[in-house]
Amino acid sequence: MYGTTGLISSLLGAYQMSEVSMRYSRFIPRFYNLAKSLGFERGKIMPSRAFCSDESQGYPIILIAKHFGSFPFNHGLVGGVVATDRHAPHAHHGKDLVIIQASHVGYDPENGRFGVYRRLQTEKTSETSNCGKICGALDWYLHEYEFASNNIFLYQENGKHKVVVDNLMLHADRNEGLLLKLDKIVKVDSQGHPIPEMSKSTAKVFSASPTLVEYLEDYEWKQGRGESIGDRLHPDLFFYKREISQHSEGRDHLEKNLIDVMPYIVTSEWPALTAAQANTQVEFDRAFRTILQEPTYKNKKILFISGLNVDISPQEGQVFPLTKFIPWAAYVQDEHGNHQTWEQAELYEQLQAQAPENPDQVDLETAIEIMESAKEIQLPF
């Protein structure tokens, strides 16, 4: 398991944040100019977005329409999952094709919290979870982690490090729950079985494993009953089992994307942010492969980008959030089938190389006025 967890933490750690974030009002014109630099034809580009359904995603959609001159096709399911069965319709709606996939997370600048967003349309402009799908999916995992961190105790006796583990967490045959990697927490025999030194009414006492002592090298073990392990329960010391549907793009698709990295999510400073980040990374990898295999995308120019939308709660006098985009990766394909993938650093450089002004942008107010003043067309019924 060490190799697997090492890869997981490496993947999450590869996603740079503050260094590459940009306001949507800067990102979208640069992204449009990037498409133009790749030979995409003005007026023939069909943009598509794979966003969550939250109203906080409306501002990015307005900017896409303004700069690409078309309301974007909808490629998104709740949580920022890509609806890959919509590839073919998207391909039929334009000559050159653009897709923007982004999971999203709210941010309240007043208290520095991720995962919440001020809803202006609620009675008292309340703050609620954002993304609601992601936060809702996290609740069960966070509750399991809270129980475990409060029911594993550490203490010292005669200079020896001891661990008390609740009996529930010693049942490795459970179908669901947080399961401990006991060989990393307590001493085990040659077969890998934990060696209890004492049984209590609801728990067992063990000697701490060398691995746990190493993880807690800066921790001061206390005499007597000690204290709960709390947030010292490291993500490498446990994993989750959960009965979830494996149906792609179904009800549990988001949880399926996140369950392997969930120990790192629940122990992070901002779980909602880390979950949105991880979902973006998984969805790019998955959707990119479906684009490669989609027959209707052959002989088409395609620019597919994934990133993270950060919805900064609107302040007084603001109608929309000050949304920021944090790019992750992109896939580029020309009409001859030549293609390449840009990793985060290269993608950011490509975007920064473009002008932040778009001479082709649509004046939405003028466009609406033209539609309003046009002669009415009577329908034949």
- What number of other Cβ atoms are within 10 A of residue 146's Cβ? 13
**Distance between CA atoms of residues 344 and 281, nearest Å:** 11
Instruction: Report the distance separating Cα 130 and Cα 149, nearest Å.
Output: 26
Q: What is the pLDDT of residues 172-197, one digit of tens each?
A: 899 999 999 999 999 999 888 899 99
pLDDT tens readout for residues 147-159: 999 999 999 998 8
With a cut of 70, say whether residue 2 has pLDDT above it.
Answer: no
Whether omega before 131 lies within 30 degrees of 0, making that bond cis, reads: yes
Contact 262, 141 (CB under 8 A): yes
CB 209 within 8 A of CB 188: yes
Burial bucket for residue 304 (CB in 10 Å: 0-12, 13-18, 19+):
buried
Q: What DSSP string runs through 49-67?
A: EE--S-GGGHHHHHHHHHH
Cα–Cα dist 307/310, whole Å: 10
Using alpha carbons, list the distances in angstroms from residue 207 to 58, 150, 189: 55, 18, 12
Integer Cα distance of 290 and 284 in angstroms: 10
What are residue 96's phi and psi, to 5 degrees? -115, 145
Residue type, 250: G
**Cβ–Cβ under 8 Å, residues 130 and 54:** yes
* Residue 3: per-residue pLDDT: 41
pLDDT tens readout for residues 13-45: 788 888 999 999 999 999 999 999 999 999 999
Beta-bridged to residue 166, according to DSSP, are: 203
Residue 6 pLDDT: 52
Pairing of strands 324-333, 301-312: antiparallel
Residues 145, 151 contacting (CB under 8 angstroms): no
pLDDT at residue 10, rounded to an integer: 64
Rounded Cα distance, 206 and 225, in Å:
13
Residue spans of the domains in the chain: they are 20-97+339-365, 141-241
Q: Hey, what amino acid is at 78?
A: V
Condensed to tens digits (0 to 9), the pLDDT of residues 324-359 reads: 999 999 999 999 999 999 999 999 999 999 999 999
Place of tokens 């490291």: 234
State the sign of the Cα–Cα–Cα–Cα dihedral 233, 237, 243, 244. positive
Quote the tokens at residue 262. Answer: 């969930």
Structure-block tokens of residue 366: 């003028």
Q: Using N-to-C axis directions, what is the helix angle for 2-13 and 271-293, rounded to 10°?
A: 90
Residues in the chain, overall count = 381
Tokens of 261: 């990295």
For the segment 48-91, what is each residue's pLDDT rounded down to a tens digit?
Answer: 999 999 999 999 999 999 999 999 999 999 999 999 999 999 99
pLDDT (0 to 100) of residue 4: 46
CA proximity to 115, closest of 131, 127, 126: 131
Longest alpha-carbon distance in the chain: 92
